[in-house]
């Protein structure tokens, strides 16, 4: 799942990110920061090729 919180206010964005991180923690997933307000969340059984992204 990709979460882009750039259109949310700071407090709401933090709550969204915290919620998604909690869900990933529950299923042994991972959170990858793409930029300051965009995250990639992957479940434990998921695989992300070519991470981190090349500059």
Which residues 6+ apart lie within 8 Å of 7 measured at CB? none
Look at residue 10 and tell me if it is in a domain: yes
Residue 48: per-residue pLDDT: 75
Total domains in the fold of the chain = 1
Look at residue 15 and tell me if it is in a domain: yes
Rounded to whole angstroms, the Cα distance separating 48 from 37 reads: 19
Look at residue 31 and tell me if it is in a domain: yes
Which residues 6+ apart lie within 8 Å of 18 measured at CB? none
Whether residue 51 has pLDDT greater than 90: no
Task: Give the pLDDT mean for 25-45.
Answer: 90
31 or 50: which carries more pLDDT confidence? 31
Which residue range forms the structural domain that includes residue 27? 2-42
Percent of the chain with pLDDT over 70: 89
Residue 53: per-residue pLDDT: 64
């Amino acid at each position: 799942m990709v979460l882009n919180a750039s259109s949310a206010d700071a407090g709401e964005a933090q709550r969204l990110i915290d919620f998604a991180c909690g869900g990933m923690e529950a299923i042994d997933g991972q959170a990858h920061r793409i930029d300051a307000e965009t995250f990639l969340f992957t479940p434990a059984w998921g695989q992300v090729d070519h991470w981190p992204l090349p500059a």
